[in-house]
Amino acid sequence: MAYQHTVHWVVDKHVDNLWKSPEIKEAAAKIAAGELVAFPTETVYGLGASARFDEAVKAIFQAKGRPADNPLIVHIAKTEDVNNYTNFVPDKAWKLIHSFWPGPLTIILRHNSTLSTSVTAGLDTVALRMPDHPVALALIAASGEPLAAPSANRSGRPSPTTAAHVAEDLDGRIAGILNGGATGVGLESTVIDCSAEEPVILRPGGVTRRQIEEIIGPVALDEALTEETTAPRSPGMKYQHYAPEAPLTLVDGDDSFFHMCITEHRKAGERVGVIIQAADVGLTKADVEYVLPGKTEEEIARELYGALRTFKKTEVDHIFMRVLPAENIGFAIMNRLVKAAGGRIRSQHS
């Protein structure tokens, strides 16, 4: 569906009784009418529609250009709402809910067939989460609907962490955008499958494996985390994601190897961009440098998608970034970077 005008609402997330604000009410009315509204969460901006309306959910896939066999996360506003959409919630799942909700953890459970089959991609499970953002919770409450909401970007692009990123991809394709400022975590939620006896992490994200294991004991990592599957059980497990406009290559090596990779492409006549940390400023001899402002994993996560969106085809032909330690949330960062690079990694050690 094309819109002559996508409505932009600016909301103050610190206002009391936010769900009663005119902006939230107007956005909620569009949700109730089966339209699409982008809204902020603590992770990234989501593209929301009622998870109960099949046509509304199908419109999400159309607006994003997203394959229909990729299931969606359903966002709820109260923990007890889990019972409305599932057959059974295991004890370990309840422990995770009470420990991490609201927050960046999505839990997969057996559903009770009350939601659109387009949400679940025909599977017998549904992915549920309760976002930790007042605007998201207010929109869910005001609409009275569970919100199916993948990231609010064109499929394959870096996820949006600001309303401007959403507009860049979806202006004219959706009914409205709720601007609640920049998101906090900057990476999508962790997805854990609790539909079987032993929980399995399907996607790393804002809640780390270590944090989960502190609550419920050892959990496995799905072997498909870095592989394509024919029937993905979770968002982010199939197809290339998070890709910038220019090709991205990750570099695993020392300073001289990193600089050699850049020089090779520049000598071939390409304009090269780099995503670097402060220690490398001015040392890469790249044409365009994006300096990640933070040093911690959490700070890098918040800036990652913005960095990937910075580079345009008109400015650079190739982008390089050094690999990061894959520990804690760094594991989630590297998961996104490998997907963004389409698996391109140059290693000094191979």
Instruction: Specify binding-site residues for ATP.
Output: 66, 70, 125, 151, 159, 203, 242
Annotated binding-site ranges for L-threonine: 43, 75, 129, 149, 189
Token output for 38: 């982008």
Annotated binding-site ranges: 43, 66, 70, 75, 125, 129, 149, 151, 159, 189, 203, 242
Q: Where are the beta strands (DSSP E) in 65-223?
A: 73-75, 105-110, 125-129, 147-148, 176-179, 190-193, 200-203, 220-221
246 and 158 Cβ atoms separated by less than 8 Å: no
Distance of alpha carbon 323 from alpha carbon 343, whole angstroms: 12
Of 26, 69, 73, give the one whose Cα is nearest residue 51. 73
Torsions phi, psi of 321, nearest 5?
-150, 140
Which DSSP helix (H) or strand (E) runs through 94?
Answer: helix 91-100
User: Hey, what amino acid is at 134?
Assistant: P
Tell me the three state secondary structure of residue 246: coil
